[in-house]
Amino acid sequence: SRRTLEYCRKIKEIFADEGNWTPRFGGIEEPFKCKTLYYTQNWREKSTATLVNCYAPFSNGGGRCMEEAKEDCASQYTFRSNADCQNYLERKSDTISCCKKFSAGVACEQYPSTDSCADWGGEVYSSCNECFAERDPEPETISCCKKFSSGVSCEQYPSTDSCADWGGVVYSSCNECFAGHDPLPPAGYEDEVLVNFDAYDNPFPDTSLSTLEGRASAELYRRAVIGGFPDGEFKGDRPVNRAEAAKFLLLARFGEISNVSNSGRFPDVLDGQWYTKYVVTAANKGIISGHPDGTFKPADGVNTAEFLKMLTLTFDLQTNLPFSYRDVSSSDWFSQYAGIAKKYNLFPDRTSYLSPARALTRSEVSVAIYQFLQGR
């Protein structure tokens, strides 16, 4: 109806400055509908007038709606007194939603866990975790799994930071997120490897043999070390987890790996899974070890330092080789493996900085293994 938004705009100053909802223009027969549409529209537009006068236009003096049956004002925008309104303004001077705050790269610690906040729909959340548990209405939201699978290491987000994917599933940590609803279930899918392959063909439609990534992925595919996804693509930007890293390195060194049972060695490694034989074999050979709590966490991502250690132990390489990386100190636990990266040029784009905590992708792991095999 043209009586709504059109006339609401005309009497904006009356509503905002006087808090008087009595129609001043003829023909308006639905003042409550007009009122509701007015403050909803202006709240979304972050209207200064609406914020400053939040009590007056939302409560008509008594702090309650005049006729609750006719208008939708039973939300956190309705205050019982001017004092309540002032407290709200002092606590929340903007209209950025709770979920947007806590999902756009802002750590929970930047907002107290007891800090109540609300999204556009008027739902109030008592904490960051509770907010994450709800659906985020903002289209630019970065989901938990996207955060932890797009090259962002777990360390950049506290392990106690709950977060949710688009469907509203809550994860209590980075590891749990990886094991849950990652677009690529890290420990739940084994890429497919074909051994009958022409060395001069490119097996992946999303790579090019003119690039190092393309040559590396094609060669490792030919060697039956790494494969593609069901759609045929290589997907080099996908992260590599501990189970996948163990598989790639073992196949590069030993070829086919025989089936072996976990037999309770790692409580989070189930028998019969595609990765079981790789994890257990790598553990038996001393290439990998479990966490202090006895778990292996096959879905955890692998960073540069961890991968270098695994590569060194897999191929029994000499340690403590010279290096000149500016971000590696001789006191770092991984310094004994840093020279391996320099000697074999495992990461061609890292000449001055090793970036030991950087999470590795399929492309980076493929190039590193390829460079080593070519240079040894």
Domain count, the chain: 3
160 and 289 share one domain: no
Both 240 and 321 in a single domain? yes
pLDDT at 201: 77
Query: Does 341 lie in the same domain as 222?
Result: yes
Assign 216 to helix, strand or coil: helix
Q: Is residue 82 part of a domain?
A: yes
Contact 362, 240 (CB under 8 A): yes
What would the two tokens of residue 289 be? 């070890």
Please state, as a whole number, how many other Cβ atoms lie within 10 Å of the Cβ of residue 159: 11
Please tell me whether residues 132 and 168 are part of one structural domain: yes
Structure tokens given for 139? 């289209």
DSSP 269-306: --TTSTTHHHHHHHHHTTS----TTS---TTSB-BHHH
| pLDDT tens digit at each of 376 positions of the chain | 445 555 555 545 444 444 444 443 344 434 444 444 444 444 333 333 333 333 333 333 333 333 333 333 333 344 444 555 555 444 443 333 343 444 433 333 333 333 333 332 334 444 444 444 433 332 222 334 333 333 333 333 333 333 333 233 333 444 443 343 333 333 434 554 444 444 457 899 999 999 999 999 999 999 999 988 888 899 999 999 999 999 999 999 998 899 999 988 999 898 888 899 999 999 999 999 888 888 998 988 999 999 999 999 999 999 999 999 999 999 999 999 999 999 999 999 999 999 999 999 999 999 999 999 998 8
**Residue 205 domain-assigned (yes or no):** no
The maximal CA–CA distance of the chain, rounded, in angstroms, is: 89
Q: What is the pLDDT of residue 163?
A: 38
Domain boundary among 48, 63, 91: 91
- Is 320 in the same domain as 289? yes
Q: Report how far residue 18's alpha carbon sits from residue 145's, in angstroms, rounded to the nearest whole number.
A: 48
Q: Of 91, 119, 136, at which residue does a domain stop? A: 91
Cα separation, 156 vs 349, whole angstroms: 22
In a domain, 203, yes or no: no
Residue 239 token pair? 């992260």
With residue 124 as reference, give the H or E element that holds it. Answer: strand 124-125
Residue 64 lies in a domain: yes
Range of the domain at 78: 5-91
Which is nearest to 145 in space by CA: 131, 167, 165, 130?
Answer: 165
200 domain residue, yes or no = no
Instruction: Report if residue 206 sits inside a domain.
Output: no
Q: Domain for residue 185, yes or no?
A: no
Q: How far is CA 323 from CA 93, 304, 310, 348, 374, in A?
A: 52, 15, 18, 14, 20
The tokens 């979304």 sit on which residue?
A: 44
DSSP string, 233-253: ---TTSB-BHHHHHHHHHHHH
Q: What tokens were used for 16?
A: 């905002």
